[in-house]
Every structure is written in structure tokens, then in C-alpha cells.
């Protein structure tokens, strides 16, 4: 197997440039480099077309531990994504290094079964606190893991799909928040955040102070002990 991260760095290419060369998304290259997805055979052919015999010096000798476990369990690697998990205890570290490829690659991963290739950046965030727990089926109890898909910054200037999704907000001062957005004021560049727990009042955030936005696509509630 080819160590595409070593190859990319040897060619002094960014992940985006490498993705454009192979005809895929930057996030897919990041997942392959982090050992979260296998390198498709068609990409090996494209690499050979572009780099020829130079591939021999970039063979991957270090195996991904998660991949080995899945293989021993006779689980098809192609049917899962290994999604990075930001636990409650990793909030501060994520805020400091969310843009750092090396930091994201160091996070533990959670397997997510898929039936097709999912594009975009996905993360699991662990819920902290009770602000989104009103006891209803829509609640996100503390300790729940939220599978979330990144909303590209270029889409923030148009109205966000606030009626379709709840959100994880990575904010400069407030930290990592799971919230329902009840209003997106495009002109002023603000969002009004709502908590399901009525003990918490609504509040407004400026999008200029938001690092990342994610739509929550699935929740995993921990089993009761």
C-alpha cells in the first residue's frame, strides 16, 4: 500500500492540490491519510500515471491498528468510515488545533457503517451538559455522541438549513456547542441559538466568531448502566 501522505509531502503538495490531481475531495484525502478509509485501486492507477516508479519509495509499512482489528473481525473495511471523535475532554485541544491535520489524525475514531461514499468532513462530538436535554425524543443527553457534517464556510453567507438540522457550533469564546438555530440573520451575520432545556435562554452569536459549523446527522445515546 502507498503512503500517500509521505508521497504528497515529498512532492510539496497540499491536500487540496493532491485531491485535484486525483479528482476527489480534500476531505477524502484526509481520511485516507489518517487511515480512516482505504486507498481505492483506481487512485493507485492515477498515482502511477502521475508519478510512475517514484511510488516504490513510498510504500506504507506501518499498518493502521483499527484496520487490523476490523480485518480480524472479518468486517469489510469498505463498508465503514472511521470518524474522528472529539470527546468532552478534548474540547480545548480541538479548539486549539482544529485546523491542524496532525491533531485531527491523532484523535480516536468511531466506526460508522455506510452504504456509499460520503463526501465532506465528518466528526463525532460528545455532548457536554444538559442544555439540549428536555426529556423528549429530540434531546441530546450528556455523553451522547453526535455524528456531524461540516458546513463549508462559503455557504454561511446564504440562509442556513435551520429548519432541517440541529447544529454543532465551534465558537471562539463559547467553545463547542450543540444547539438548535432558530434564526439566521444573513444581513447581520448572526445566528440565534436555542436550547431544548428551557432553563437556558436563547442567545445570539456572530458568525465571525465561529470557527466551524456542523449539521447533526445522527446521535448515539450511551447505554444506561
The pLDDT tens digits of the residues spanning 149-197 come to 999 998 999 999 999 999 999 999 999 999 999 999 999 999 999 999 9
Note the pTM of the prediction, 2 decimals.
0.67
Q: Which long-range contacts (CB under 8 A, 24 or more apart) does 22-28 make?
A: 22/46, 22/47, 25/119, 25/120, 27/119, 27/120, 27/121, 27/150, 28/117, 28/119
Q: Would you state the pLDDT for residue 90?
A: 86
Give the Å distances, CA to CA, from 199 to 70, 141, 196.
44, 15, 9
Q: What is the CATH number of the domain that holds 151?
A: 2.10.109.10
179 and 80, same structural domain?
Answer: yes
206 and 122, same structural domain?
Answer: yes
The pLDDT tens digits of the residues spanning 32-60 come to 877 667 777 777 778 877 776 556 555 54
Q: Provide the mean pLDDT of the chain.
A: 82
> Is residue 64 over pLDDT 80?
no
And the C-alpha cell for 58?
Answer: 513510498
And the C-alpha cell for 209?
Answer: 466568531
89 and 50, same structural domain?
Answer: no
Q: What is the CATH number of the domain that holds 17?
A: 1.10.260.40
82 and 55, same structural domain?
Answer: no
Q: 184: closest CA among 166, 214, 160?
A: 160
| pLDDT band, residue 62 (cuts 50/70/90) | very low
Residue 216 · residue 170 · CB < 8 Å? no
Q: Which domain holds residue 205?
A: 68-220
Q: Would you state the pLDDT for residue 213?
A: 96
73 and 52, same structural domain?
Answer: no
172 and 86, same structural domain?
Answer: yes
Amino acid at each position: 500500500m502507498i503512503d500517500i501522505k509521505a508521497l504528497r509531502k515529498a512532492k510539496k503538495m497540499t491536500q487540496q492540490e493532491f485531491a485535484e490531481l486525483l479528482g476527489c475531495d480534500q476531505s477524502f484525502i484526509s481520511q485516507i491519510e489518517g487511515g480512516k478509509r482505504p486507498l481505492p485501486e483506481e487512485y493507485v492507477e492515477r498515482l502511477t500515471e502521475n508519478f510512475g516508479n517514484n511510488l516504490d519509495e513510498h510504500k506504507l509499512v506501518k499498518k493502521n491498528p483499527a484496520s487490523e482489528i476490523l480485518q480480524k473481525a472479518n468486517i469489510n473495511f469498505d463498508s465503514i468510515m472511521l470518524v474522528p471523535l472529539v470527546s468532552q475532554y478534548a474540547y480545548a485541544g480541538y479548539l486549539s488545533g482544529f485546523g491542524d491535520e496532525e491533531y485531527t489524525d491523532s484523535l480516536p475514531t468511531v466506526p460508522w457503517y455506510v452504504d456509499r461514499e460520503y463526501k465532506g468532513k465528518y466528526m463525532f462530538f460528545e455532548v457536554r451538559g444538559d442544555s439540549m436535554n428536555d426529556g423528549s425524543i429530540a434531546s441530546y443527553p450528556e455523553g451522547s455522541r453526535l455524528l456531524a457534517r461540516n458546513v463549508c464556510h462559503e455557504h454561511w453567507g446564504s440562509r442556513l438549513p435551520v429548519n432541517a438540522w440541529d447544529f454543532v457550533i465551534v465558537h471562539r469564546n463559547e467553545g463547542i456547542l450543540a444547539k438548535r438555530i432558530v434564526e439566521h440573520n444573513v444581513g447581520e451575520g448572526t445566528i440565534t441559538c436555542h436550547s431544548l432545556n428551557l432553563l437556558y435562554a436563547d442567545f445570539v452569536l456572530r458568525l465571525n466568531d465561529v470557527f466551524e459549523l456542523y449539521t447533526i446527522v445522527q446521535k448515539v445515546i450511551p447505554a444506561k448502566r
